[in-house]
């Protein structure tokens, strides 16, 4: 009798431990979508080819999106995951964390990537108008009007030295440009409102979206596209 009781208790302990382990590794699917946006803010027709990696200290998976930008990672243990998105010719914005609870309901994730700008800007002049400073020039390699909410964002590097660049500058400021007529562009530069003297500027592309700027910088034009501005 004692032997049967001991065997029964041991079986219950094993069953109890098994149930606790099952609860400790609750798994579920992560279903995501990566939208590819061109430099004008329009969604690409083919959004395939983005490599998506989700990982933490205990689990890691890498998958490639289909033509709709969709992906699915199955049987992912619950937890918080770091993400990485890679696609040639597109910029990764600030990586996001996915909080995954596991279970029958899949965790959903949506992410946008911006195309690296291919356009160029050549400035003709930098002038003061009333209390504002504007840069005027032309956009090259422009093929269509930007989507609403998108414009051409620039980072101007400013210095008293005419060798100004993104690595050699005193101040920097973001300016937003919009096409006026044809390929002509006007860019308002806020930094000069309270400054006087002679400055040199060089423009770099920042990213096309007003709302999701990246730290990516692309030099626009050539080395001669450095402009002098004198404010009294």
CB neighbour list of residue 41: distance below 8 Å, 6 or more residues apart = 146, 147, 148, 149, 150, 208, 209
Residues 125 and 225 grouped into a single domain: yes
Of 115, 140, 174, the one marking the end of a domain is 115
Final residue belonging to a domain, choices 85, 115, 145: 115
What is the model's pTM?
A: 0.66
127 and 179 together in one domain: yes
140 and 86 share one domain: no
Residue 30 in any domain: the answer is: yes
pLDDT along the chain (232 residues), means of 10: 45 40 73 90 93 96 97 95 93 82 91 81 74 76 71 74 82 71 73 66 60 49 62 66
Which residue in this structure is represented by tokens 């093929």? Answer: 143
Is residue 21 a part of any domain in this protein? no
Q: What is the pLDDT of residue 175?
A: 72
Q: Is residue 9 part of a domain?
A: no
133 and 102 within one domain: no
220 and 139 housed in the same domain: yes
Asked whether the beta carbons of 36 and 115 are under 8 A apart, the reply is yes
Are β-strands 27-37 and 107-115 bridged in parallel, bridged antiparallel, or unpaired?
parallel
Phi-psi region of 79 (alpha: psi -120 to 50; beta: other; left: phi over 0): left
- Tell me if residue 22 falls in helix, strand or coil: helix
7 belongs to a structural domain: no
CATH number for the domain harbouring residue 177:
2.60.40
Domain count, the chain: 2
2 assigned to some structural domain: no
Q: What share of the chain is helix, strand, coil (3-state, %, to 5)?
A: 10, 50, 40
Tell whether 205 and 108 lie within a shared domain.
Answer: no
- If residue 3 lies in a helix (H) or strand (E), which one and from where to where? helix 2-24
Rounded to whole angstroms, the Cα distance separating 146 from 33 reads 23
Sign of CA dihedral 69, 74, 80, 82: negative
Report how far apart, in Å, the C-alpha atoms of 64 and of each of 40, 59, 71, 175, 184 are.
24, 17, 7, 36, 40
Q: Are 201 and 172 in contact (CB under 8 A)?
A: no
Assess whether 95 and 125 both reside in one domain.
no
Same domain, 58 and 160: no
pLDDT of residue 156: 77
Residues 38 and 90 in one domain: yes
Domain that holds residue 102: 26-115
Let me know whether 111 and 126 are in one domain.
no
In a domain, 108, yes or no: yes
Burial of 204 (0-12, 13-18, 19+ CB in 10 A): buried
Residue with structure tokens 């562009």? 185
Q: Do 74 and 135 fall within a single domain?
A: no
The position carrying tokens 């998108």 is 150
Q: Rounded CA gap, 113 and 32, in Å?
A: 13
Q: Is residue 98 part of a domain?
A: yes
Tokens of 174: 């973001």
CATH number of the domain residue 75 falls in: 2.60.40.10
């Amino acid at each position: 009798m004692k032997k049967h009781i001991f065997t029964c208790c041991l079986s219950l302990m094993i069953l109890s431990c098994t149930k606790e382990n099952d609860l400790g590794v609750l798994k579920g699917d992560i279903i995501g979508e990566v939208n590819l946006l061109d430099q004008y803010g329009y969604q690409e027709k083919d959004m395939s080819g983005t490599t998506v990696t989700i990982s933490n200290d205990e689990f890691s998976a890498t998958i490639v999106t289909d033509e709709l930008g969709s992906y699915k990672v199955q049987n992912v243990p619950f937890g918080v995951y770091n993400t990485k998105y890679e696609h040639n010719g597109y910029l990764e914005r600030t990586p996001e964390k996915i909080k995954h609870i596991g279970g029958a309901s899949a965790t959903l994730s949506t992410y946008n990537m911006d195309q690296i700008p291919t356009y160029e800007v050549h400035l003709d002049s930098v002038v003061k108008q009333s209390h504002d400073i504007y840069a005027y020039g032309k956009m090259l390699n422009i093929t269509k009007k930007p989507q609403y909410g998108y414009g051409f964002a620039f980072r101007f590097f400013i210095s008293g030295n005419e060798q100004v660049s993104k690595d050699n500058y005193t101040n920097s400021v973001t300016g937003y440009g919009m096409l006026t007529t044809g390929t002509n562009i006007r860019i308002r530069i806020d930094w000069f409102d309270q400054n006087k003297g002679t400055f040199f500027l060089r423009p770099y592309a920042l990213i096309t979206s007003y709302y999701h700027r990246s730290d990516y910088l692309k030099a626009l034009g050539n080395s001669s596209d450095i402009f002098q501005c004198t404010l009294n």
